Amino acid sequence: MSQALQQNGHLQMVRHQNMEAKAQALTPALFHHDVYPQGVVSAVQDAQQIHGWRADVAASVQDFFKQDFFQGEHVIIDFGKHCVGYLEFACEAAGSPPDAPAHLQFIFGETLAEVVEPFSDYSGWLSSSWLQQQDCYLDELPHHMRLPRRYCCRFLRINVVALSRKFQLRFTSLKLDTVTSASLAQLPTCSSNDKQLQRIDEVAVHTLKNCMHDVFEDGPKRDRRLWLGDLRLQALVNDVTVKNYDLVKRCLYLFAAMTREDGMVSANIFVKPQLIADDTFLFDYALFFVDVLQEYVAVTDDRETLAELWSLAWRQIELALERVAQNGIVRDSADWWSFIDWHEELNKQAASQGVLIYCLSKALILARDYDVSKVSLLEEKISWLKAAAQRELWDAQSGFYTSGESQQVSCASQVWMVLADVGTPEKQRSLLKRLKSHPPKIQMNTPYMMHHYVAALLQVNEMEQATQEIKNYWGAMLEYGADTFWELFDPKRPDFSPYGSKLINSYCHAWSCTPSWFIRKYLL
């Protein structure tokens, strides 16, 4: 049963209630675990540290619970690791009986900068409501409170904004009730003898865990919802770690439950207070529905789900092929959006050509096993698109594939041509070596794009370089103190943000967890 809906007054969406019911039936239970403060820290300016701040030990947890706080004082709690959950605390008055409410402000930070640099200075283009803070007024003391909103943090700043002059405030308990749908009870061990790879794997698994809730969230701080591009990478790591295949299945059905009137899947899904597909549609993300389905079926052999979702997957192929011009190249114009990477200058045409070929190849795997009537067409289209890429996009003079009218050379274009298996294996290997020796101006800005670069290296059997890239990139985040991996990271520009402020960046982000997949599947 389907129901047509109007969204934003102009875009018709269709709700498929049978798909939604299947998704809701797969809603996971959450695991709870209490995390307590590990210490009190002070923030010290240090140009050598990420964002210019260093956390120095200021006091023990025992000292914190003995301290009487006056109006205007603050404290920074360190929980010792990145956490996602609900703050619970209790406090009482010290001195005279409380003759006025206590006004407290809680500021939660994934990084130290978020609890040190004032939010009033924020000037990014994303809503400042994503900045994690909450004010509480305690009319009666003693008082026990559980904050209703879920937060994520390693650091917690408590500002004692206002008290009466007659009394001080003393905390008697404080903890985080952390939540996740990832059961790590039977997590396969990472048995690498390389201590750096083992530590990278640990942090990557922690990143995935903290992004697993009632869906695979892209980030527990922001945007806290299901994105197809993130799901694709999370599902791979899930395959070699948590193995919660029902959650992958639920997410596939959620995308199937509400589509655009022409059948295109949304780039992301809201699940609360009710299921709503966002009015953001991305060329590459829609195609990745095919990839997620193929990978899911490969590890589960779930024929029933394949039968129910194959027609929707095929529709993404049909819609994408409509964007291909007569010369066999994806049309580049102002009426589309393909994500590829966070880079203002990046032209997406060539990389999107690669994504299309790659996802057609995934569809071919499914078709050979399930719908042989599509095999010949897919084989024909793949050959046609590959030949067109070689003919129209290859520039012999530069030794790179170009993109768009300006014939831009970027890392993303080369990586996706390799992942699409364009050219001989020898040419692909040579291309990646040239990419290393002659890096183009348009580089990679995110762990998302870096994942595809490492995947391309592994595809051409450059195991040693792939390992080194993992160590260089994700290892650099570890050196900056990361205990979960970040949404954005440019080693040359640690403060980089496409949103106008590092404070709004996500420092636990789904698409950065893939080192575990590489390490456990290829490098052990």
**CA–CA distance from 409 to each of 228, 481, 492 (Å)?**
27, 34, 20
At residue 4, the pLDDT reads: 53
At residue 6, the pLDDT reads: 47
**CA–CA distance from 23 to each of 2, 198, 232, 269, 362 (Å)?**
15, 35, 17, 12, 23
441 token code pair? 């101006």
How would you write the pLDDT of the chain (524 residues) with one tens digit per residue? 555 554 444 569 999 999 999 999 999 999 999 999 999 999 999 998 999 999 999 999 999 999 999 999 999 999 999 999 999 999 999 999 999 999 999 999 999 999 999 999 999 999 999 999 999 999 999 999 999 999 999 999 999 999 999 999 999 999 999 999 999 888 988 988 999 999 999 999 999 999 999 999 999 999 999 999 999 999 999 999 999 999 999 999 999 999 999 999 999 999 999 999 999 999 999 999 999 999 999 999 999 999 999 999 999 999 999 999 999 999 999 889 999 999 999 999 999 999 999 999 999 999 999 999 999 999 999 999 999 999 999 999 999 999 999 999 999 999 999 999 999 999 999 999 999 999 999 999 999 999 999 999 999 999 999 999 999 999 999 999 999 999 999 998 989 999 999 999 999 999 999 999 999 999 98
At residue 524, the pLDDT reads: 85
CB 522 within 8 A of CB 463: yes
Can you give the C-alpha Rg of the chain in angstroms? 25
At residue 262, the pLDDT reads: 96
Among candidate residues 87, 40, 34, the one with its CA nearest the CA of residue 62: 40
Among candidate residues 162, 171, 169, the one with its CA nearest the CA of residue 144: 171
- Grouping H, G, I as helix, E, B as strand and the rest as coil, residue 380 is helix
| Kind plus residue range of the DSSP H or E element containing 82 | strand 74-95
Strand 258-260 and strand 143-146: the pairing is unpaired
**Domain spans of the chain, in order of start:** 31-121+129-180
At residue 9, the pLDDT reads: 43
- 167, β-bridge pairs: 95
At residue 122, the pLDDT reads: 96
Question: Is the entire prediction scored with pTM above 0.75?
Answer: yes
Q: Which residue has the tokens 């274009």?
A: 413
387 token code pair? 């030949």
Q: Which CATH superfamily is domain 31-121+129-180 in?
A: Galactose-binding domain-like (2.60.120.260)
At residue 335, the pLDDT reads: 87
CB 491 within 8 A of CB 221: no
Q: Which residues contact 404 (CB under 8 A, 6 or more apart)?
A: 332, 347, 349, 350
